[in-house]
């Protein structure tokens, strides 16, 4: 890259000189300003290829610098430097056209990367046509295949912070209700980190019995225990050089928590039955939908592990607290499922949108996505109508009755969550509902057990074997699912 002229504005002498050193080391010509006023004066006298400015400064703050620069030269990228408590203003700065923002304190590598990126963009000529103030109507931040759709200021702030945090190897704890997008955010952090080329390995701590979790995490040697017929690599080993996602970390038992803490402290793992610890380089992201702090207070979670994990905490807001996002997400999923099913469903009717907006979404975005998937499938016309959405059990039944009037079914007793010994996934479902379920291949009738097996298989397939998710889709508890699977194993033997 050719030599670029960079203007740095910061009122802290140490930071100024650190930035000067870092940027001249990259081979650029750096000019310094001690406050916003001086920066603007210098920019008026001479054009720079890039401006790096602190947000809080005397005389004129970083936002003022940004606005002037953008007015005089819309194509010049501006990078903001902010302190932790100023993230809100930083988001505003992004709206005003800032290229990036960097959270203090930062290692030299972060600013170098940001500067390289900004200069690459501007020399590609992309920013020449960039409007001075590009309103951030929505953000489609990439996390692999799945975009993160949001326009909520809280989420935008969170994504900006996630991008920053991604650059460091710090452990991240993602807290949020079920279905809020914790895994999506974890993938986003991985994708935006220097480890993006490495593996991303996820393990749900609730999906395995305690006895298996340890060897799943750390691997085991041949003969370590009955059934360990061969050496097995653990998830940590598989994630070497990349990121491991420990889902539902609260479900890990205390003994294993102690082992995990050691891994985080020492950067090495002990295979079950192994003699030598093994060095690993893995970034840990943990998620929980419980209040881990309360678990610590109740003695169910180790305080030292909690603090170790909680270096950088993220709280993902529930969907009901992101009202801005609801129509945006609903539209996104409508389009996605219309395309997937090759159906001409071109809109959500205003009434449908209203119905969606008045629902509290306890299952958050996952529930919204499932609702729209169903809504698009069931839509009889060009728009999704409220009755296509089946927002609750009653609505579901009513809709089924409309589509297939059937004699009233006798009331069932077993709830879907903890069925009695005789029950199956279909208890509580009336015959009309059963009629609407997927027909077996070849049109032959199946027994309820066969159907149940097939549904469980499908759910596990769709969730890549994630039992928690599969159980949620099926509307049963993880324990029930586990029991069912054990039953099948017995009957198959």
Ligand X SMILES: Nc1ncnc2c1ncn2[C@@H]1O[C@H](COP(=O)(O)OP(=O)(O)OP(=O)(O)O)[C@@H](O)[C@H]1O
Residue 440 contacts residue 446 (beta carbons within 8 Å): yes
**Minimum CB separation from Mg ion for residue 361, in Å?**
16
**31 in Cβ contact with 50 (< 8 Å):** no
Q: What is the C-alpha separation between 75 and 39, in angstroms, rounded?
A: 17
Of the candidates 167, 237, 159, the one whose C-alpha atom is nearest the C-alpha of residue 195 is: 167
By a kind-dependent CB cut-off of 5 to 8 A, residue 178 interacts, out of Mg ion, ligand X, none, with: ligand X
Q: Report how far residue 53's alpha carbon sits from residue 65's, in angstroms, rounded to the nearest whole number.
A: 8
* Of 12-20, 83-91, 142-150, 174-182: span binding Mg ion (CB under 5 A): 174-182
Query: Do β-strands 172-175 and 312-315 pair in parallel, antiparallel, or remain unpaired?
Result: parallel
DSSP 13-45: HHHHHHHHHHHHHTT-EEEEESSHHHHHHHHHH
**Cα–Cα distance between 472 and 417 in angstroms, integer?**
10
- In whole angstroms, how close is the CB of 351 to ligand X at the nearest point? 24
Closer residue to ligand X in complex, CB, 118/376? 376
**Residue 101: phi, psi to the nearest 5?**
-140, 150
Q: Which residue is nearest to Mg ion (CB)?
A: 183
- Report the partner that residue 416 touches, choosing among ligand X, Mg ion, none (CB closer than 5 to 8 A by kind): none
Q: Does 49 bind Mg ion (CB under 5 A)?
A: no
Q: Pseudo-torsion of CA 179, 182, 187, 188, nearest 10°?
A: 110
Euclidean distance between CA atoms 445 and 439, whole angstroms: 8
Nearest approach, Cβ of residue 146 and ligand X (Å) = 5
For the chain, how long is the longest CA-to-CA vector? 84
Cβ nearer to ligand X, comparing 181 with 419: 181
Cβ at position 198, least distance to ligand X in Å: 20
183 binds Mg ion (CB under 5 A): yes
Q: Find out whether 252 and 235 touch, Cβ atoms under 8 Å.
A: no
Query: Which residues contact ligand X by CB under 6 A?
Result: 146, 148-150, 176, 178-184, 247, 289, 329, 365-366, 369
CB 429 within 8 A of CB 397: no
From the list Mg ion, ligand X, none, which binds 179 (C-beta under 5 to 8 Å, kind-based)? ligand X
Judged by CB under 5 A, the number of residues near Mg ion is 2
Which span (182-190, 301-309, 400-408, 442-450) binds Mg ion, by CB under 5 A?
182-190
* Closer CB to ligand X, 146 or 479, in the complex: 146
* Binding partner selected for residue 97 from Mg ion, ligand X, none, CB under the kind-specific 5 to 8 Å limit: none
Q: Which residue's beta carbon is nearest to the bound ligand X?
A: 181
- Shorter beta-carbon distance to ligand X: residue 22 or 149: 149
With vertex at residue 124, the alpha carbon angle to CA 118 and CA 128, rounded to the nearest 5 degrees, is: 80
Nearer to ligand X, 215 or 289 (CB): 289
| Partner from ligand X, Mg ion, none contacting 148, C-beta within 5 to 8 A by type | ligand X
When the beta carbons of 6 and 285 are compared against Mg ion, the nearer one is 285
369 makes contact with Mg ion (CB under 5 A): no
Residues that bind Mg ion (CB under 5 A): 182-183
């Amino acid at each position: 890259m050719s030599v670029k002229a960079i203007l740095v504005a910061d009122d802290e002498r140490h930071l100024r000189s650190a930035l000067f050193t870092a940027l001249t080391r990259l081979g650029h010509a750096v000019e310094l300003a001690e406050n916003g006023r001086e920066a603007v004066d210098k920019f008026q006298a001479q054009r720079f290829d890039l401006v790096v400015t602190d947000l809080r400064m005397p005389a004129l703050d970083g936002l003022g610098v940004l606005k002037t620069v953008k007015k005089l030269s819309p194509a010049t990228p501006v990078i903001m430097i902010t302190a932790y408590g100023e993230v809100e203003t930083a988001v505003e700065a992004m709206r005003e056209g800032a290229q990036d923002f960097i959270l203090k304190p930062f290692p030299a590598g972060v600013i170098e990367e940001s500067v390289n990126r900004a200069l690459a963009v501007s020399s590609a000529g992309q920013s020449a046509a960039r409007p001075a103030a590009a309103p951030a109507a929505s953000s489609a931040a990439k996390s692999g295949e799945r975009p993160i759709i949001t326009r909520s200021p809280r989420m935008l702030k969170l994504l900006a912070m996630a991008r920053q945090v991604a650059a460091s190897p710090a452990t991240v704890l993602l807290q949020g209700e079920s279905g809020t997008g914790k895994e999506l955010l974890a993938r986003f952090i991985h994708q935006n980190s220097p480890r993006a080329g490495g593996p991303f390995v996820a393990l749900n701590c609730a999906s395995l019995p305690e006895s298996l979790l340890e060897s799943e995490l750390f691997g085991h040697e041949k003969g370590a225990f009955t059934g360990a017929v061969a050496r097995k690599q653990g998830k940590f080993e598989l994630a070497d050089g990349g990121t491991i996602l420990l889902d539902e970390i609260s479900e890990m038992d205390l003994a294993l928590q102690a082992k995990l803490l050691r891994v985080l402290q020492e950067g090495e793992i002990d295979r079950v039955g192994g003699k030598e610890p093994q060095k690993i380089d893995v970034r840990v992201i943990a998620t929980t939908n419980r209040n881990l702090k309360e678990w610590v207070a109740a003695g169910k979670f180790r305080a030292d592990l909690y603090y170790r994990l909680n270096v950088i905490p993220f709280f993902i807001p529930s969907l009901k607290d992101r009202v801005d996002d609801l129509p945006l997400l609903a539209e996104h999923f409508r389009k996605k499922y219309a395309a997937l099913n090759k159906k001409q469903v071109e809109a959500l009717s205003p009434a449908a949108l209203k119905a969606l907006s008045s629902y509290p979404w306890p299952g958050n975005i996952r529930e919204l996505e499932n609702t729209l998937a169903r809504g698009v499938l069931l839509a009889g016309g060009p728009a999704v109508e409220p009755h296509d959405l089946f927002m609750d059990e009653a609505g579901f039944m009513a809709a089924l009755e409309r589509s297939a009037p059937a004699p009233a079914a006798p009331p069932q007793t077993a709830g879907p969550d903890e069925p009695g010994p005789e029950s199956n996934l279909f208890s509580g479902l009336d015959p009309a509902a059963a009629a609407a379920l997927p027909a077996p291949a070849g049109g032959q009738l199946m027994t309820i057990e066969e159907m149940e097996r097939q549904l469980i298989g499908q759910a596990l397939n769709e969730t890549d074997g994630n039992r928690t998710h599969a159980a949620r889709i099926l509307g049963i508890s993880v324990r029930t699912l586990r029991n069912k699977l054990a039953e099948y194993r017995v009957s198959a033997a």
